[in-house]
Structure 1
Amino acid sequence: MLRKITPYLFVAPLMIFIAVFTYIPIATSLNLSVREWNFLSPDMPFVGLRNYEELFDSREFWNSLWVTTLFAVLSVPIRLALALLIASYLISETFVSRLLRGAIFLPYVTSTVSIAVIFSWVFSTDYGLANALLVKLGFERLPWLQNPSLALGVLVLVNTWKQIGYDIVIYIAGLQAVPRELYDAAAVDGGRRLHVFRRITLPLVMPTTYFLLVISVIEAFQVFTIVSVMTHGGPAGATDLLVHQLYRIGFVLFDIGKGSALAVLLFIILIALSLIKSRVIGRKVHYEA
């Protein structure tokens, strides 16, 4: 009997951790999403689907969903393309390559708040480095974080700079797993570099690309800190991503029921996106035996 339960005892701490910090919060959010609560009142009356109906009738929700989708569409392809390109140049085991890997990975493990504050200074209209460079080049200053057409692009840039180090490290691992004999055979056959990259490298790193695509989309839909520090969802809602709106509804307006409903909708959106990517892209992923 002890031999049978020993494996379960080893995984019990992890399962308890996952239950306490994942499954129980999900169940609690589902329960709160159909109730009305403001943190202070002891009563939590059942209101059914009213919170969801108010969200669907809210222009702010649809704007936030559009902005979040646009943020993901702009940031994820740029991140993955740049990460694969840079990883292809840093795959060699030289001192310079290893040094650059560490330097590029450093922003990923740096505090997001610190990065957001620094880039707030960089893109400041009055004294920012970006505008100082524009003035030196003879251009006018730009209101980077006050212009609805520019603010989201700045957030994409900052998020890409912070997250791309992780993508590069994963791509390097995927590229190192590609058999060297394939490149040698292509060189013997006179294959051009671009042709070899398209015919050998891209198909064989598709599992890595698929993994990073799933992770990157989930991360893009959960961006909060850089929005909260740099733009507060403005200007005019141009950077009001879903998680920031969730925070505003739940912890600023104290509408916990509606905030929980938005959290449930975000969870459903991410599950749906993962299933779609699994059906559309997952079938095309080539795995080596």
Structure 2
Amino acid sequence: MLRKLTPYLFVAPLVAFIAVFTYVPILTSLNLSVRNWNFLTPDMPFVGLENYRLLISSRDFWNALWVTTLFTVFSVPIRLFLALIVASYLARETFVSRLLRGALFLPFVTSTVSIAVVFSWVFATDYGLINPVLGWFGIGKVAWLQDPALALWVLIFVNTWKQIGYDVVIYIAGLQAIPQELYDAAAIDGGKRLHVFRRITFPLVMPTTYFLLVVSVIEAFQVFTIVNVMTHGGPAGATDLLVHMLYRIGFVLFDIGQGSALAVMLFVLLVTLALLKSRLIGRKVHYEA
């Protein structure tokens, strides 16, 4: 009996950790989403689906969902495209490529708050680094973080700059797993670089692309720190992503019920997106690979 229980005893601490810090909060959020609570009173009256109804009827919710969708649709393809191009040049095991990999990966492990503060200074209208450079070309001051048409693009740039190093490292691992014999055969047949990339590299790296697509979409829907530090969801709600709205409702307005309802809706949305991508893309990708 002890021999049979030994494997379970080894994994018990990890299972307990996941249960306490993952499943218990999920169930707690689900319970709070159907109650009215403001942190200040012990009373938590049951209100059913009222919190969900208020969210769905709120213009702020639909604006946050639209902004988050725009952020994801534009940031994820840009990240993956740039990461694949860069990884194709850094896949070779040389001293320079290793050095550049480390330089690209460094922002990923750097504090997001520090990065957001630095770029807030870089894109500042009056004292930032970008506007003086534009002034050399006769371009006036640009209100990067105050213009609703530009603020979201600034956040996309900052998030891409921080996350692309991770994508590059994963792509390099996928590229190095492609057999060299395929490239040798293409070289004998006189295949050009672009043709080889389109016919060999890109199809065989699709499982890696699919993995990064799932991870990147989830990450994009959970972006919070750069928004909270750089724009606070402004100007005029142009950068008010879903997680920032959740924070504002739950921890600024102290409406824990609506905040929990939004968290549950975001969880369901991400699970649904993951399942759709698995059904529509995942099988085809792995089959072709």
TM-score band by shorter chain is over 0.9
State the partner residue of 1:38: 38
Q: Distance in 1 between matches of 2:221 and 2:288?
A: 31
Other structure's SS at 2:35 match: coil
State the partner residue of 1:10: 10
Figure out how many residues of one structure are paired with residues of the other and give that number.
289
State the partner residue of 1:229: 229
How far did 1:212 drift? 0.3
**Structure 2 residue identity aligned to 1:246:** L
State the partner residue of 1:240: 240
List gaps (5 residues or longer) in structure 1.
none
8 A Cα contact 2:203 2:288, kept in partner = no
8 A Cα contact 2:112 2:225, kept in partner = yes
RMSD: 1.0
Q: Deviations over 1:175-225 (max 9, x none)?
A: 000000000001111111111101111111111000000000000000000
After superposition, the Cα gap between the structure-2 partners of 1:231 and 1:40, relative to the gap in structure 1 and judged at 3 Å, is: same
Q: Distance in 1 between matches of 2:60 and 2:109?
A: 33
Q: Distance in 1 between matches of 2:197 and 2:280?
A: 23
8 A Cα contact 1:204 1:287, kept in partner = no
Other structure's SS at 1:285 match: helix
State the partner residue of 1:220: 220
State the partner residue of 1:249: 249
Query: Please, which moves more after superposition, 186-195 or 242-251?
Result: 186-195
State the partner residue of 1:121: 121
Q: Deviations over 1:110-150 (max 9, x none)?
A: 00000000000000000111111110121111000000000
Other structure's SS at 1:35 match: coil
Q: Distance in 1 between matches of 2:82 and 2:157?
A: 12
Q: Distance in 2 between matches of 1:214 and 1:236?
A: 30
Q: Distance in 1 between matches of 2:28 and 2:136?
A: 55
8 A Cα contact 1:218 1:270, kept in partner = yes
**Structure 1 residue identity aligned to 2:144:** W
State the partner residue of 2:203: 203
Q: Tell whether 2:162 aligns with 1:162.
A: yes
Q: Distance in 2 between matches of 1:87 and 1:124?
A: 32
Q: Distance in 2 between matches of 1:287 and 1:163?
A: 28
**Structure 2 residue identity aligned to 1:67:** V
How far did 1:280 drift? 1.1
Q: Distance in 2 between matches of 1:6 and 1:210?
A: 36
Q: Deviations over 1:214-246 (max 9, x none)?
A: 000000000000000000000000000000000
How far did 1:286 drift? 3.1
Sequence identity (%): 80
Q: TM-score, normalised by structure 1?
A: 0.99
How far did 1:287 drift? 5.9
Q: Distance in 1 between matches of 2:206 and 2:11?
A: 32
Q: Distance in 2 between matches of 1:99 and 1:202?
A: 25
**Structure 1 residue identity aligned to 2:265:** L
Q: Deviations over 1:42-70 (max 9, x none)?
A: 11000000000000000000000000000
8 A Cα contact 1:203 1:286, kept in partner = no
State the partner residue of 1:54: 54
How far did 1:248 drift? 0.2
**Structure 2 residue identity aligned to 1:107:** P
8 A Cα contact 2:144 2:150, kept in partner = yes
